[in-house]
Amino acid sequence: MISAIAFEQAMASLVRDADPVLRPDPLSREELLEAYHPDAGPEARVSLRVGPNRGDPCHPALARVVEGDALIGDVDLAAIAPMSTDVLVVGGGGAGAAAALSARAAGAEVVVAAKLRIGDSNTVMAEGGIQAAVGEDDSLQRHFDDTMRGGHHAADPALVARLAGDGPDVVRWLIGLGVDFDLAEGAAPGARLMRKRAGGTTAARILSHRDFTGLEIMRVLREAVELDRGVTVLNRSPAIELLSDEYGRCAGAVLYDLEHRVFKLVRAGAVILATGGAGRLHLTGFATSNHYGATADGLALAYRIGARLREVDSFQYHPTGVAHPPHLAGGLISEAVRSVGARLINGLGERFIDELAPRDVVTAAILRECAQGRGVGRDGSVGVFLDTPGLLKERPQLLDKQLVSLKHLAHRCGVDPCVDPLLVYPTLHYQNGGVAIDGNGATSVEGLYCAGEVAGGVHGRNRLMGNALLDIFVFGRRAGAAAAGQAGTPLAHGRIGLGHVQRWRRELTRAGVTGGSLSPVLYPAYGNFELRSHMAAGGKG
């Protein structure tokens, strides 16, 4: 049990009428990360034993998923009549919606397969905003440099250039679809957009809709997808396996219809995986801000068919997850709260880190305070204070105008943010790496594209606030257009089936990886979902 300063004692140490001085740090940022960030722990990585990334580091819990055996075999596909489409999009979040709309704009017929329902994704949880270099004091080069530096220069420069370069056009596209971004204070309609600064950036570049930007954007995109008659949406239909042809190209996917408890075969000219991240695997035991379906499905499916991965040992732990009450642990408190001035305070009343340092640095600093006994303990929970009263005393209007989600979350926590601080602790938030892609989302497997959190190379080893929303639209749109172009090119697919699964099983056997896990896992362990049991239950009256 980590020792901590009792809540009552910590509250007595909290200075109410002054901005606390930032405590000097004896460690460099690199030393702090190496000592306290979860990615650097002794049990943070293992070497993959099979597949195109054999020998590369991966988080142990994720390795069990990507090295897993398939859930199905050829016998499961017997007598299933396939449906066909130009482009199959697997995933119903922001990246999937953007890909579908882009493919449609290029003339393709599209099927979207959502594990839950279209819109049920991490996108709706993105509160802080979207980055785009649209200000007079900003530039595409600065956005590029900030992103490369924030990701420890591990990102693919070509992908980062696409990210920053497409930013202004993505914002125009979203506004054209109907997204309502906040305007600068006192500005008339059509005037300048309000911009905020994010941690690790050198310019105010965040555009937002209050503090529930993702929800606003997903509302607009979901309507656009559902109104397009060229898009067929299959809700509650997770992908169980990809389909391949005799040449190893991706040629569709096998879906599982949760309502009717049957498999569906979808043949496609191109497939786009937009399945999100891995937060619900609860890596290293952390609570997560991720939605229920974030179980690394896309990584498992892409890796099994032969796609290369990258940086799958790197994850982002958002600094300010809810620490108390325990039943809300991991719920996200947006970086927007810190970007407008809220301070992080330990149990001694000290401000111990620049709140707008990169997220991995702030996370490591919080974990250090708790590990060294300067955290705040309350009812078995440990964290530090997010001093909202110090902020709202001077600017009470923020709670109703910009921090609406904070107001609702604080109420659920039983806290009046104008009176008492919230107790926060890092929450597993984002998968920094993923499937390796090119500038149009294409993977190393012909016919397979990836967009959004399932893809790697865009953020390096740490992501900046606001770049996730931009990422899903930049590469979602590009993948949609590229997939539509490929789907329009006649290909002699030959025999389509699960040939790659047979090859994978032979490789597992040769490597001695037998009797292990099955993947994709589809839902977190506490969901108590098992595919065969679910199918069998469907046959009972």
CA atoms within 13 A on the CB side of 279: 25
Q: Which of 447, 511, 96, 159 is nearest to 306 (CA)?
A: 447
d(CA 77, CA 106): 31
Q: Taking residues 322-339, report their average pLDDT.
A: 95
Q: In which band, very low, low, confident or very high, does the pLDDT at 540 lie, cut at 50, 70 and 90?
A: very low
Q: Per-residue pLDDT for 337 more than 60?
A: yes
CB-based burial label for 7 (10 Å; 0-12, 13-18, 19+): middle
Name the pLDDT band for 189 (thresholds 50, 70, 90). low
pLDDT bracket for residue 491 (50, 70, 90): low
Instruction: Give yes or no: 359 in active site.
Output: yes
Instruction: Detail the DSSP E strand segments found in 38-194.
Output: 46-47, 57-58, 69-70, 83-90, 110-113, 130-131
Q: What is the pLDDT of residue 41?
A: 83
Cα 144 from chain centre: 20
pLDDT value, residue 488: 73
Range 296-314 average pLDDT: 98
Whole-angstrom Cα distance, residue 45 to residue 62?
9
Across the range 399-428, mean pLDDT stands at 95
Residue keyed to tokens 């009256």: 541
d(CA 439, CA 43) in angstroms, rounded, equals 33
For 92-115, what is the mean pLDDT?
98
The whole-chain average pLDDT of the chain stands at 94
Residue 263 pLDDT more than 50? yes
Exposure of 322 in the CB half-sphere (CA atoms within 13 A): 20
User: Has residue 401 got a pLDDT over 60?
Assistant: yes
Q: What are the structural domain ranges in the chain?
A: 5-36+316-429, 74-314+432-490
Are 331 and 409 in contact by the 8 Å Cβ rule? The answer is yes
- Structure token pair of residue 316: 């982002």
Residue 495 pLDDT grade (very low, low, confident, very high; cuts 50, 70, 90): confident
Topology adopted by domain 74-314+432-490: FAD/NAD(P)-binding domain (3.50.50)
Which residue has 């440099």 as its token pair?
145
d(CA 36, CA 218): 35
The residue type found at 283 is L
The CATH code of domain 5-36+316-429 reads 3.90.700.10
Phi, psi of 374, rounded to the nearest 5 degrees: -100, 5
Find the angle CA(424)-CA(185)-CA(182) to the nearest 5 degrees: 65
**pLDDT reported for residue 541:** 33
Q: Is 363 helix (H, G, I), strand (E, B) or coil?
A: helix
- DSSP codes, 387-439: EHHHHHTT-TTHHHHT-HHHHHHHHHTT--TTTSPEEEEEEEEEE--EEE--T
Q: Which is nearest to 268 in space by CA: 445, 108, 115? A: 108
98-125 b/e with 16+ CB inside 10 Å = b? bbbbbbbebebbbbbbbbbebbbbbbbb
Do residues 520 and 296 lie in contact, with contact meaning Cβ atoms separated by under 8 Å? yes
Among the listed residues 359, 378, 461, 477, the single catalytic one is 359
Please, is 463 exposed, middle or buried when counting C-beta atoms within 10 Å of its C-beta (0-12, 13-18, 19+)?
buried
Q: Is the pLDDT of residue 17 over 80?
A: no
Six-digit token string for 105: 């704009």
pTM over 0.75: yes
Q: Looking at residue 20, what is its pLDDT? A: 87
Which pLDDT does position 305 carry in this prediction? 98
Q: Give tens-digit pLDDT for 277-303.
A: 999 999 999 999 999 999 999 999 999
At residue 185, the pLDDT reads 78
Which pLDDT belongs to residue 294?
A: 97
CA proximity to 144, closest of 132, 126, 130: 132
pLDDT value for 416? 96
In 3D space, the residue among 365, 432, 461 whose CA is nearest the CA of residue 37 turns out to be: 365
Instruction: Tell me: pLDDT of 325 over 90.
Output: yes
Query: Which residues partner with 183 through β-bridges?
Result: 193
One-letter amino acid at 40 equals A
Mean predicted confidence (pLDDT) in 488-494: 63
Q: Please list the residues that pair with 288 across neighbouring strands.
A: 428
- Helical (H) or strand (E) element with 479: helix 467-487
CB distance 464 to 84 below 8 Å: no
Region of residue 32 (phi > 0: left; psi between -120 and 50: alpha; otherwise: beta)? alpha
Rounded Cα distance, 40 and 63, in Å: 17
pLDDT at position 2 is 74
Query: How many Å apart are CA 285 and CA 282, to the nearest integer?
Result: 5
Which residues are paired to 430 by β-bridges? 316
- Confirm if 73 and 352 have CB atoms less than 8 A apart: no
pLDDT band at 514 (very low <50, low <70, confident <90, very high): confident
Give the span between the Cα atoms of 150 and 199, in whole angstroms: 9
